[in-house]
């Protein structure tokens, strides 16, 4: 049962791909025939097929919706006096999903090939910001698995003026200082980490101490003695994580390695972190998967499926488009509101300090 629940998202993607392929099959072979030899499924069979609809405004404006009519003509326009066949759910689904996916692929290619290369890459900028601020990020998305961003400044400090900061960047560009990577003479700053149970237990003990000290949400309003205890606990956590990265704790040490090709393909780790934690080199910035920013594909498919459910219920493209946009805004609002509270709790930073 746990296996099925864990891979529910992958199963949903499989069903999505199958239905898209089925719809495109009927669209291509039914519309391309000169003499009708391939027939659409019967109405009773069609009702079993889940209708997915997308790109409502493109369908209405451009006229692609006419390809979903139950006749073999591939014309995009219809004269009002002429006979207009009823819509086929399968053809309607095929046209809309094809347009949706084409637009999505164009956007992905544009951002990956052009925008992130020549304009800005926000994930890479975040890693650079961590390094310039002399802040490393230790992120555990699961109990013993997470991500690490090595943001330790190669200049030893970050509290400097603009002139000195510019000089530091110039020194880096001219290779007059050490590189930013965790391993000497490398540029690797991002890692996937599998921590040992002993390291996780030590981390939890310090974290529980911090939570008991009134927690970060009431840090500034707490008494002086509680405030001092909380500050000591914060220093203990920072000192422990910094010493862990510097290989101080030999009983909780770690080593760095590259993932095997099969591990990269399957998205799993074959080696268990028994005595030592494992840091996997991660040049793809996969830590973005825990951010709203890094789940574009999941959100794309979810919006498409939501659109389909609404259209199946009301048979109205415009209403489905409006409700899809509305739920996007609702989820964005919830993500911003709840995300700040979660960030304040998990990072042990007072919420009032978050921008």
Cα gap 90→311, rounded to integer Å: 13
Same domain, 283 and 152: yes
In a domain? residue 325: yes
Same domain, 151 and 287: yes
Res 195: pLDDT = 92
Same domain, 106 and 227: no
Residue 54, number of CB atoms within 10 A of its CB: 28
- pLDDT per residue, tens digit, the chain (355 aa), is 444 444 455 555 665 676 667 767 666 766 666 666 666 666 555 555 544 333 334 333 344 455 454 444 555 555 555 555 566 676 677 767 777 778 788 888 888 888 888 888 888 889 988 888 888 899 888 888 999 999 888 877 777 778 888 888 888 887 777 788 888 888 889 999 999 999 999 888 887 776 665 444 444 445 556 667 667 777 888 899 999 999 888 888 999 999 998 888 888 888 888 889 999 999 888 888 888 888 888 888 888 878 777 777 777 777 877 888 888 888 888 888 887 777 777 776 666 666 6
Res 279: pLDDT = 94
| 134-172 residues labelled b (16+ CB within 10 A) or e (exposed) | eebbbebeeeeebbbbbbbbebeeeeeeeeeeeebeeeb
Cα gap 180→161, rounded to integer Å: 20
Q: What is the DSSP letter of 118?
A: H
In a domain? residue 97: yes
Cα gap 187→177, rounded to integer Å: 12
Angle at 139 between CA 135 and CA 142, to 5 degrees: 175
In a domain? residue 344: no
Same domain, 52 and 81: yes
Same domain, 71 and 157: no
In a domain? residue 355: no
In a domain? residue 354: no
Same domain, 243 and 153: yes
Res 218: pLDDT = 47
For residue 248 the two structure tokens come to: 């101080």
Q: What is the DSSP letter of 113?
A: I
In a domain? residue 322: yes
Same domain, 286 and 267: yes
Cα-Cα-Cα-Cα dihedral sign, residues 205, 208, 213, 216: positive
Domain that holds residue 195: 135-294
In a domain? residue 128: no
CB < 8 Å & 24+ apart, contacts of 335-342: 335/292, 339/292
Same domain, 192 and 82: no
**How far is the CA of 84 from the CAs of 55, 190, 230, in angstroms?**
22, 58, 73
Q: How many domains does the chain have?
A: 2
Cα gap 224→221, rounded to integer Å: 9
Question: DSSP letters of 306-327?
Answer: HHHHHHHHH--HHHHHHHHHHH
Same domain, 81 and 110: yes
Same domain, 31 and 111: yes
Domain boundary among 294, 310, 326: 294
Q: What residues contact 62, with CB distance under 8 A and at least 6 apart?
A: 76
Q: In the chain, at which residue ranges do the beta strands (DSSP E only) sit?
A: 137-140, 145-149, 190-194, 254-257, 277-281
SS3 166: helix
- If you compute the radius of gyration of the chain from its CA atoms, what whole number of angstroms results? 27
CA 8 to chain CA mean position, Å = 17
Cα-Cα-Cα-Cα dihedral sign, residues 128, 129, 133, 139: negative
In a domain? residue 329: yes
Same domain, 288 and 313: no
Same domain, 268 and 307: no
């Amino acid at each position: 049962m746990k296996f099925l629940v864990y891979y529910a998202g992958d199963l949903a993607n499989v069903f999505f791909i199958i239905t898209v392929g089925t719809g495109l099959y009927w669209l291509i072979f039914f519309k391309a025939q000169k003499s009708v030899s391939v027939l659409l499924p019967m109405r009773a069979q069609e009702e079993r097929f889940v209708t997915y609809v997308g790109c409502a405004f493109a369908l209405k404006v451009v006229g692609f919706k006419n390809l979903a009519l139950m006749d073999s003509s591939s014309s995009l326009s219809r004269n009002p006096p002429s006979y207009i066949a009823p819509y086929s759910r399968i053809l309607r689904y095929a046209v809309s999903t094809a347009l949706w996916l084409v637009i999505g692929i164009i956007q992905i290619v544009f951002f990956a090939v052009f925008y992130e290369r020549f304009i800005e890459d926000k994930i890479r900028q975040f890693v650079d910001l961590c390094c310039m601020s002399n802040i490393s990020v230790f992120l555990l998305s699961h109990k013993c698995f997470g991500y690490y961003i090595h943001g330790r400044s190669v200049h030893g400090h970050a509290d400097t003026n603009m002139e000195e900061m510019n000089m530091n960047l110039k020194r880096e560009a001219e290779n007059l200082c050490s590189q930013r990577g965790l391993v000497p003479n490398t540029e690797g700053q991002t890692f996937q980490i599998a921590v040992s149970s002993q390291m996780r237990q030590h981390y939890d003990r310090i974290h529980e101490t911090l939570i008991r000290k009134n927690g970060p949400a009431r840090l500034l309003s707490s008494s002086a003695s509680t405030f001092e205890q909380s500050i000591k606990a914060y220093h203990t956590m920072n000192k422990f994580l910094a010493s862990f990265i510097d290989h101080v704790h030999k009983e909780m040490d770690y080593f760095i390695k590259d993932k095997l090709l099969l591990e990269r393909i399957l998205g799993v780790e074959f080696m268990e972190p028994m005595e030592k934690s494992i840091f996997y080199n991660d040049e793809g910035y996969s830590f973005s998967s825990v951010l709203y920013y890094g789940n574009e594909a999941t959100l794309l498919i979810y919006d498409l499926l939501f659109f389909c459910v609404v259209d199946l219920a009301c048979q109205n493209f415009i209403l489905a488009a409006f409700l899809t946009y509305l739920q996007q805004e609702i989820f964005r609002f919830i993500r911003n509101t709840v995300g700040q509270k979660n960030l304040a709790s998990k990072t042990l930073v007072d919420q009032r300090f978050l921008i």
